[in-house]
Homo-oligomer: A and B are copies of this chain.
Amino acid sequence: MQVRTKNRTVNNRPIGIFDSGFGGLTVMSAIVEALPSESLIYFGDTAHVPYGSKSKDIVIKYSKEITSFLMKFKVKLIVVACNTASAFALSTLRKTLKVPVIGVIEPGSKAAIYASKNKKIGVIGTEGTINSESYVREINRISRYEVYQQACPLFVPLVEEGWNSGEIADSIVKKYIKPLLDKKIDTLVLGCTHYPLLRETLKKNVGRSIALIDSAKATAQEVKSILEEACLLADLKSRKFLKFYVSDNPKKFQAIGSRFFSKEMPSVKKIKMIS
Contacts and interface: CB of A to CB of B under 8 A. Distances in A.
A160 interface: yes
A193 B12 CA distance: 50
Interface in A44-88: 46-49, 53-55, 57-58
18 contacts: A46-B54, A47-B48, A47-B54, A48-B48, A49-B53, A53-B160, A53-B249, A53-B252, A54-B248, A55-B248, A57-B248, A153-B157, A153-B161, A154-B163, A167-B171, A168-B168, A168-B175, A274-B275
How many copies, total? Answer: 2
Interface string A132-165: 0000000000000000000001101110110100
Which of A49, A54, A156, A275 is packed against the most chain B CB atoms within 10 Å?
A: A54
A172 interface: yes
Interface string A236-262: 000000000000110010000000000
A242 to B, nearest CB: 23
Interface string A187-214: 0000000000000000000000000000
Interface residues of A, number: 27
Contacts of A163: 154
A111 to B, nearest CB: 28
Interface string A165-189: 0011001100100000000000000
Contacts of A171: 167-168, 171
Nearest to A161: B153
Given A55-B252, A274-B275, 17 more contacts: A47-B54, A48-B48, A49-B53, A53-B160, A53-B249, A53-B252, A55-B248, A153-B160, A154-B161, A154-B163, A156-B157, A157-B157, A167-B171, A168-B168, A168-B172, A171-B171, A275-B275
Nearest to A160: B153
A161 B160 CA distance: 17
